[in-house]
Amino acid sequence: MSNKKILSALCYFSVFFFPLLLPFVIYFVSEELEVKYHAKRSLISHFVPVVILICGVIIFSFSMLTVEKRMMTIVNGSFDFWSIAPFLFTLIYSLLFIVIIIWNVFQGVKVLK
């Protein structure tokens, strides 16, 4: 097995350890175009959950800032989107994170074959 394949697969498998750091370092250290290609793809796939998590923090913050208003709408029996937004985000984020882990493992195994 060549070093190119091992480094490329390590970029994808790094989702379990050093998710952003290892592909970033390999991208700038390696001179092989194939390794750089896989490092960039894995870096993007590792960066997507971080961006979505930042959006989630904003959603949670906005949800917490409007907690008094939401409590009044719950008492009145009306529906407010911001009352379920944190739970909806947590569900979507969890599913997306599982899909990204599966995709990275699949790509890592595919590179090794």
| DSSP reduced 3-state for 42 | helix
Q: Structure pTM? A: 0.78
Profile the chain (113 residues) by mean pLDDT over runs of 10 residues.
86 89 91 92 91 85 69 63 78 92 94 90
Q: What residue spans define the domains of the chain?
A: 3-112
Tell me the three-class secondary structure of 44-102, residue by residue: HHHHHHHHHHHHHHHHHHHHHHCHHHHHHHHHHCCCCHHHHHHHHHHHHHHHHHHHHHH
Sequence-distant (6+) residues with CB within 8 A of 101 are 15
Sequence-distant (6+) residues with CB within 8 A of 62 are 82, 85
* pLDDT for position 69: 64
Residue 33 neighbours by CB distance under 10 Å: 9
